[in-house]
Structures are given as C-alpha cells and as structure tokens.
Structure 1
C-alpha cells in the first residue's frame, strides 16, 4: 500500500506550472520534473509532484517510494482550479491541505500568516 494515500505535510508537494500531456507515465513525468521544474525525482525524498493537462480536467500525482513509483490519476468533469501563487523554478510548493482542496476542485488562494 502506498503512503501517498495519506496526504499529510510529511511530504513536500510541488505543482508543475507547465501544461502536461496526460499520456505521459512514470518516466515521462520524471522528465517533466527535471526539464520544467528543475528538480529530480528521487526515492525517499518525501516529495510529490502534481501535474495538470491543458484543459485542467486531468490531474496526476507522482511519488517515488522505496520499491517503486506511485502514480495517482484523477479526472473530473469540471476544471481543476489553478493555484494563485508565485512560481519558483517552474513549480509551486503546496501544503497537504492545498493539495486536498485542489483534488476536490476548490479554489486555492495564497494567504499570508498573521503575525
């Protein structure tokens, strides 16, 4: 069983800012991570990479675990709402709550913590 099924902040979540061809699988998505997100997919790094297609109706999450890859694929009738945040190196870092909101089709907003 994959640890990905428990989406918590023990993972770092990176949303890819580039549109991705959803026909890509494990190796193709690893290439997107390296080329467009300036990162590497490595096992045991507790990093999850999130991809959307051009129409924003299909979403994939990629995680490399101890003994292989986990790929979660979600399709919905309505469009996923893009995060409204500033990208760094082609990706946006998200929290577990923001990822769950994205999966549920909720609007994500960047908020400032009150001091």
Structure 2
C-alpha cells in the first residue's frame, strides 16, 4: 500500500527529467538509460532542471506508484553522491525533500547485516 520506508532502495537519476513524463515513460527511462529493471521494487527519484519538482517511481504489486511534490517556493538540493550509481539513503532522501542542507556531517559506524 502506498508506502516508502528506510528498508527501500532509492536511486537518484543523475540527469534532468522532463516532469511531463508519466509512470510508463519514466519506467522506460529507468530501463533504457539506467539499465535497471523498474519492476524490481526499487524507488527511482527524478528532479527537473529547475529543481522545483521531484517524482518518485516505484512498482508495487499491480502497477506503478508515482509520488510527486512540486515546490511553490525554493528548490531541491541534490545530495552529494558517494557512488556513481546514484544510490540515496533514506536519510538523504528525507533531508532533500524537507529542504535541509547539511554542510558537515559525520556518521558513526553501525552494525550492518549483509
């Protein structure tokens, strides 16, 4: 049911995206330009050139879910990418959507299951 959580995998599209695109057009972009399967349950994040609109695309059983947020004032800031794949953490996504810019941060090591 229309939900996103910290257990999901988030992938940020590196280019600028035309926000007139719908779910099927964005899924084609994922398949053709990112070389990924849009049906695998990952969440794909797209920003427009002016950084005023964000779209999140996810496949759930039965169809695509498209989350859209358009800012009336201000812009989104792209997070600093640690990998070339554009993988975002849940925290980075939430900070980006809420408009919080972290100038300096230090994340202490935590136990992680593989």
Normalising by structure 1, we get a TM-score of: 0.82
Alpha-carbon distance change, 28 to 87 in structure 1, aligned in 2, over 3 angstroms: farther
From 56, 62, 71, the equivalent of 1:61 is: 56
Q: Which runs of 5+ in 2 are unaligned?
A: 110-114
SS at 1:18's partner residue?
A: coil
Normalising by structure 2, we get a TM-score of: 0.82
User: RMSD value over aligned CA atoms?
Assistant: 2.1
Match of 2:86 in 1: 92
Alpha-carbon distance change, 110 to 39 in structure 1, aligned in 2, over 3 angstroms: farther
Alpha-carbon distance change, 109 to 29 in structure 1, aligned in 2, over 3 angstroms: farther
Aligned pair count? 108
Greater shift in the superposed pair: 100-109 or 75-84: 100-109
Q: Give the Cα separation in 2 of the matches to 1:108 and 1:38.
A: 31
The equivalences for 1:2-81 within 5 A come to: 2=2, 4=3, 7-42=4-39, 45-76=40-71, 77-81=73-77
Match of 1:107 in 2: 101
Greater Rg by CA: 2
Q: Which has the higher strand share?
A: 1
